Amino acid sequence: MTDHDGHGSHCAGVIAALEAASSIWGYAPEVEIYGLRVFGGADGGGYASDIADAIDWAVQAGCDIISMSFSSEIASSYIRSSIEKATDAGVLCVAAAGNEGGPVRYPAKFRNVVGVSALGKVGTFPGDSIHGDAMTDIRSHDGRFFFASFSNRGEEIDLCAPGVAVTSTFPVNTFCAWDGTSMACPHVSGIAALALESAPDIRYAARDVSRMGLLMDRLLGLCMDLGMPKICQGSGLPRLEKLFMP
């Protein structure tokens, strides 16, 4: 598959870039990952039916987690139905909140979808760079993290993740730093993959809605409260070190 705009490569790298010295790597380099194209082509793609078909395919292929770095202000019944079927099959659906600086968009707004907002970390990029435009006065208790200006917010936000100056893979054999809730979403999906791998009781449970609920609860249990408004951070920032705590 050829990635013409780099968006898919960037998101995939956050999850599963191979470990290499003097480079970056994803949360779960050994994960089995599928890239399903729903945007692009002569007509632009991105139809609700395309997205629903991709979700259905992922469920049939036995995927455990579906990472959706896209958003729309329109609630599609096609997509909602496919997400409900995925949930019933024990699949955790994770989605970007959107980048309009307003209300959470779909599919993150749907019930049983993990809605992800975007954060930045102070001191991780030049202050005069384009990433500086994302800085706000909504800060964590310790002042290290800020809520990204572009990130959508609302009661549907379940947690937050890095979405400013995120460095990841890019075609061809290069790296780049991008902003967006699209970048925050795969952070959560990668951590969810590790959370599932480290919990055999969930991993090998019957593939039904209760399995999805157990994984979602485990993911939310990894979150650290940053002290931001709940409509911005949800349950907080998931922390890998919590996976290894007794």
Q: What is the pLDDT of residue 10?
A: 87
Q: What is the DSSP string of 179-203?
A: -SHHHHHHHHHHHHHHHHHT-HHHH
Task: Supply the mean pLDDT for the chain.
Answer: 92
Asked whether 81 and 53 are in contact (CB, 8 A), the reply is: no
What pLDDT, in 10s, does the model give residues 176-188?
A: 899 999 999 999 9
Give the mean pLDDT of 162-188.
91
Out of 36-50, 93-107, 163-177, the most confident range is 93-107
What pLDDT is attached to residue 3?
A: 67
- Average pLDDT for residues 223-238, to the nearest whole number? 97
**Considering the entire predicted model, what is its pTM?**
0.93
- Domain residue limits, the chain: 7-244
Question: Nearest-CA neighbor of 64 among 192, 160, 244?
Answer: 192
Residue 80 pairs with which residues in a beta bridge?
Answer: none
> What local confidence, expressed as pLDDT, does residue 243 receive?
82
- Give me the pLDDT at residue 170, please: 83
Cα 71 from chain centroid (whole Å) = 12
Measured CA to CA in angstroms, residue 74 lies from 77, 80, 83, 107, 114 at distances of: 10, 11, 15, 9, 18
7-244 CATH, one of 3.40.980.10, 3.60.20.10, 3.40.50.360, 3.40.50.200: 3.40.50.200
> Of 3-7, 78-82, 144-148, 183-187, which range is least confident?
3-7
Indicate the pLDDT class of residue 20, thresholds 50, 70 and 90.
low
Would you place residue 204 in the very low, low, confident or very high pLDDT band (cuts 50, 70, 90)?
very high
pLDDT at 2: 66
